Chain A
Amino acid sequence: MTKVGAANDRLAEHRIILRFVDEPDYTTDIDCYLRHGGYEQLRKALSMDPAAIVAEVKASGLRGRGGAGFPTGTKWGFIDHAKNRKPVYLLCNADESEPGTFKDRQILYKDPHQLLEGMIISSYANRAHLAYIYIRGEMAHGAQILERALAEARAKNFLGANILGTGYDLDIFVFRGAGAYICGEETGLIESLEGKRAYPRIKPPYFPAVLGLYLCPTIVNNVETLCNVKHIVEMGGAAYSKIGTPNNTGTRIWCVSGDVRRPGYFEYDGGAITLGELLYEVCGGIRDGNRLKAVIPGGSSAKVLRAGEIYPIRRKNSEGRLEEIEMKLEDLPLDFDTIAASGSMSGSGGIIVMDHTRDMVECLNNLSAFYAHESCGQCTPCREGALWMHKILDRMREGEGRPEDPQQLLDLADQIAGRTICAFGEACSWPVESFVAKFREEFEAKAAAKEHERLQPAC
């Protein structure tokens, strides 16, 4: 266990997934991985019944680390193996593209075999004989590392036919992404893997567990999620579920970027530390002695939280009764549920920090430029709305704002969220909705600036 940047013991990181990655002599080599106890859990898993592994994962309470936080065991349970006659595919979503998120990259680049071991166990648990790693197109070097790791694993018979003499066959292939954010949406990923434009599919009917890759049952899991499976096999679901807080089990990797002294990635038990502790103690506080202005807690799609806000949080107390308490932004424990209760989401764990020198219109315009560029354009509200909102923000930034702009941004965001094929509708409208609602005075000031000029007599 590594201790990073904190004097207080409570603030020491608890690294499970990233346990070895930053050790000086740790390499991506399979021998190095084997020296660190690698593929031991695979041997253990292959001696278990696949259904037993699924049961362990269910018992562990593991929630998906890609952003939505959906319980992994439940997802795996959607495939009815008694009735299913089609091949099952397991896809690793390594298309990490959410701005502010850089956790999967650490695993892919520094510890590929941990992912492979997790994937092989997960494939075995889901009775898949073919799995793909859909890696973000820009991570070219990562794809090379994975290719090498796959070759090493095949050479040692951790992959291929009759793995370790157990009679289980599996092969894993790396598929390099097509260079779009939407390729990380699970059905968009499937379309892209099939060689098509990454247009997300409509659900219903195309739920991946029923009609996924090549219309066969398909499990799509995030890199970090699959790595966790290895550790669940190691310690058992019940033991794993004791890490963190109920419903927020296991560790989370938080990626801190923006205006802090020491940005980086930090692994903690679910709910173990608060946002304030992470920012002020672990990350050394706001840069240049500035004041905190806002935090986006879960990747750029999450709603922004404003410094000084107080959130009514409903949660179970130690006696198991629901209670409502008030919490300051800095006191929010980092987990799925509390951050969701504060009106945002912990999403992919990408924490973006903005200090008081930041212009919120500029910040939002930066995000909206991303979303306007990355909308796949399949369905109307997102295609037209994302670009429209960006055009308004761009104009405001140029000093051409109009008094009606803030309200119009809210109206547009409202017309997109919940009405699109995939969650991109929410991803592009939530930032707009929250930035404008929480920093309305800044948006109104920007909008009014030009109005003042317009009143000057022309000469």
Chain B
Amino acid sequence: MALIRNPFDHDLPSADSPQVHVHLDGKWVDVPLGLNVIEVARRFGKLIPHYCYHPKLSIAGNCRMCLFEMGTPKLGPDRKPVLDGEGRPELQWVPRPQIACATTAFEGLGIRTASPLVESCQKGVMEFLLANHPLDCPICDQAGECKLQEYAFDYGKGRSQFGEEKVRKPKRVDIGPRILLDDERCILCTRCIRFAREIADDDCLGITERGGYNRLSIHPDQRFTSNYSLNTADICPVGALTTKDFRFRMRAWFLKETQSICVDCATGCNVTIGSREGFVYRLTPRVNEAVNSHWMCDQGRLGFHPIHSKHRVLEPARRVETGLFPGEWPLVLGQVAESLRKLEPSSLALLVSARLTNEELFLVQRLRESLRGESEIFTEVVPRKGQADGLLRSDDLNPNSKGARILGIGADGEKLPELRKRIEEGKVRALFCLHEDAIGAGVPEEMLERLSLLVWQGILEDKSCERAHWVLPGASFAEKSGSMVNRAGQVQRLHRAIPTPGRAKEDVWILRGLILALGGEDVGQSVPDIFSKMVATTPAFHGFTWSGLGDQGVPLPAQAG
């Protein structure tokens, strides 16, 4: 079950529904009783085109694009189905086309998805939808991923008889802080209205005016401020709802799509990263019924922007009296390793981020092993707390707290006060911050000044970075591959979408370099190699393989999480 409760699951019939026989375009197939006809066709590789139907929203039945020819078993005089030579019921076809979205499978249902009647219906509906549509595809953001465009090619006539003046409606309507509405493009499918009402629980959209002048409107006293508002732009089949963030930034067909996960909180919503030439343009939710279903929050979706910030740290460097002095990676790694080796192990502490991947955390574990003498090296993660919203957002804003716990790196920052005490008492004199700001984590600035060694690895300048003796530029979530464990224990993969900027490096590369410089065992260069090493030494991950995680991830066994 998804971590968000959908009011409707038309594509997921309950497991105990009995199988029924359905006649789909000339073939008898078995499907669960009550399965939506659009989903029946989809399961057998046929597309019944549709606009208003969405598997997670209530049925509206208003676009009329999914009209199909329905058959029912012919009944004999004894009110029992008449059987043909093969023992299958003979069908009689209802003369009126029916909407597939409001029809569910039953024994002996006949479905024709491509008969002359169906094609005539599809052509008719396409012509009507395009009649008053502005046809401004060249400047429309939806072009390339527009259902109106796609179906016009696949099911339309190819030309219109419309020779009248088009209806004019409002354009560029600012309905919310992150979303814009173009009423002329809207085909009034009401998906957004139903999403706002049924899932986002912010019932502020509706239809005003009448007939051909109908238009989508926002309640006069309201703004669409929901943290889930941008999902409406995803489910909008046309370019009526566009996100202010992505609008006019990039044509959809230029985007390279990389499957990854959102790292804004512990839910780990599955996303597709849309990037081009080393630049991320957008994140869109990717369907995963074990995690986020079809949705993600606006905060997570827009949270990628800092990775292109001008405050990114781009060069490995050492602090000298006049400031940071850039160095070459092999030299820097060698010198950092040398400094670490000289330390008394008990005087070193690692402040690690629970936003790192399992593989990175595993290498931190290995680094700790290669440095330790008789005593343990202090490690802890920094907690980030937010507010859970009952939908997708978790109160834990670290995407991999579970992974950090499993790999023994830290547990929600329970030991942070102790770290501060140890630094105060002078027991800890060296600190290695991995993607964390020690000051932000509660270590006062003047204490950092007292340290004999402060190594900082991360992506964005922060106060600790300003005081660090060594600065190691790492990678953001979009620049690396790896795995994370979400709040429900789903082990999911990230994939590298863009290269690291400047001379920044992936964190596994940096950590492996340090381990090798310290004379530790080589765990391999590639993330899959590291993953299999990690699996071998971590009982919780027993039996997992990198490729086995797939696009949807794999849940941890119940006792491990």
- A interface residue numbers (CB < 8 A to B): 180, 197, 202, 204-205, 372-381, 383-388, 391-392, 395, 402, 404, 408, 411, 414-416, 418-421
Check: B339 CB closer than 8 A to any chain A CB: no
Provide the residues of chain A in CB contact with B161, threshold 8 Å: 404, 408, 411
Q: How many residues of B contact A (CB 8 A)?
A: 38
For A380, the chain B residues whose CB sits under 8 A away are 62-65, 125, 128-129, 187-188
B-chain residues with CB within 8 Å of residue A375 when the two chains form the complex: 210-212
Given contacts A377-B212, A377-B214, A379-B64, contact A388 B129 (CB under 8 A): no
CA distance in complex: A400, B232 (Å): 42
Question: Assuming the A-B contacts A380-B64, A420-B64, A421-B61, are A386 and B212 also in contact, with contact meaning beta carbons closer than 8 angstroms in the complex?
Answer: yes
Contact B124 A383 (CB under 8 A): no
Chain B residue with Cβ nearest A379: B62
Contact B207 A377 (CB under 8 A): yes
Residue in chain A with minimal CB distance to B212: A387
In whole angstroms, how far apart are the Cα atoms of A174 and B214 in the complex?
Answer: 29
CB B166 to nearest CB in A, in angstroms, measures 10
Contact B64 A384 (CB under 8 A): no
7 contacts between A and B (CB under 8 A): A202-B60, A376-B210, A376-B211, A383-B188, A385-B128, A388-B131, A414-B124
B97 interface residue (CB < 8 Å to A):
yes
Closest to B166 in A: A391
Query: CA–CA, A204 to B103, complex, Å?
Result: 8
- Chain B residue contacts of A197, Cβ below 8 A: 206-207
B16 within 8 Å of A (CB atoms): no
CA distance A218 to B525 in the complex (A): 70
Task: Look across to chain B and name the residue whose beta carbon is closest to the beta carbon of A388.
Answer: B131
Tell me the complex Cα distance, A205–B62, Å.
Answer: 14
- CB neighbours (8 Å) of A418 from chain B are 96-97
How far is B64's CA from A35's CA once the two chains are assembled, in angstroms? 55
State which residues 205-250 of B face A: CB under 8 Å: 206-207, 209-214
Residues of B whose CB lies within 8 Å of any CB of A are 59-65, 67, 96-97, 99, 102-103, 120-121, 124-125, 127-129, 131-132, 161-165, 167, 187-188, 206-207, 209-214
Rounded to whole Å, the gap between the CB of A432 and the closest CB of chain B is 15
How many angstroms between the C-alpha atoms of A418 and B95 in the bound complex?
Answer: 9
Cα–Cα distance between A420 and B213 once the two chains are bound (Å): 18
Chain A residues positioned under 8 Å from B132 (CB to CB): 384, 387
Q: Which residues of B contact A408 (CB under 8 A)?
A: 161
> B102 to chain A: which residues have CB within 8 Å?
202, 204-205
The 8 closest A-B pairs by CB, nearest first: A387-B212, A415-B124, A377-B214, A384-B128, A375-B211, A202-B61, A391-B164, A377-B211
* Residues A378 and B128 in contact, CB atoms below 8 Å apart: no
CB distance from B470 to the nearest CB of A (A): 64
* Docked pose: A243 CA to B63 CA in angstroms: 45
With both chains docked as a complex, state the minimum distance between the C-beta of A314 and any C-beta of chain B, in angstroms: 19
Interface contact B125-A381, CB-CB below 8 Å: yes
Could you tell me the distance between the alpha carbons of A383 and B190 in the complex, rounded to whole angstroms?
14
User: Closest residue to B128 on the A side, CB-wise?
Assistant: A384
Complex CA–CA separation, A384 to B65 (angstroms): 14
Chain B contacts for A391, CB-based, 8 A: 164-165
CB-CB < 8 A to A387: which residues of B? Answer: 132, 167, 211-213
Note all chain A residues with C-beta closer than 8 A to B97.
418-419
- The answer to whether A202 and B131 touch across the interface, beta carbons within 8 angstroms, is no
Closest to B130 in A: A384
Whether B64 pairs with A374 at a CB distance below 8 angstroms is: no
Bound: A404/B211 CA distance, A: 25
The one of A381, A386, A415 in contact with B211, judged by C-beta atoms closer than 8 angstroms, is A386
B-side contacts of A180, CB under 8 Å:
210
Q: How far is the CA of A385 from the CA of B165 in the complex (A)?
A: 14
A384 partner, pick from B96, B103, B131, B163, beta carbons under 8 A: B131
User: When chains A and B are docked, how far (Å) is the Cα of A41 from the Cα of B209?
Assistant: 45
Shortest B142–chain A CB gap in Å is 18
How far is B308's CA from A240's CA once the two chains are assembled, in angstroms? 83
- Assuming the contacts A202-B59, A379-B63, asked whether A402 and B163 have C-beta atoms less than 8 A apart, the reply is yes
For residue B165, which residue of chain A has the nearest CB?
A391
| A373 surroundings in chain B (CB, below 8 A) | 210-211
CA distance A375 to B210 in the complex (A): 7
A-chain residues with CB within 8 Å of residue B64 when the two chains form the complex: 379-381, 419-420
Q: How far is the CB of B365 from chain A (nearest CB, A)?
A: 57
Q: What residues of chain A lie closer than 8 Å to B103, measured between beta carbons?
A: 204
Closest-CB distance, A15 to chain B (whole angstroms): 38
The CA of A197 and the CA of B214, in the complex, are separated in Å by 12
- Distance in angstroms from B354 CB to nearest chain A CB is 47
Apart from the given pairs A377-B214, A380-B125, A421-B62, 10 other A-B contacts in the complex at a CB distance below 8 Å:
A180-B210, A197-B206, A205-B102, A376-B210, A377-B207, A377-B211, A384-B128, A386-B211, A408-B161, A418-B96
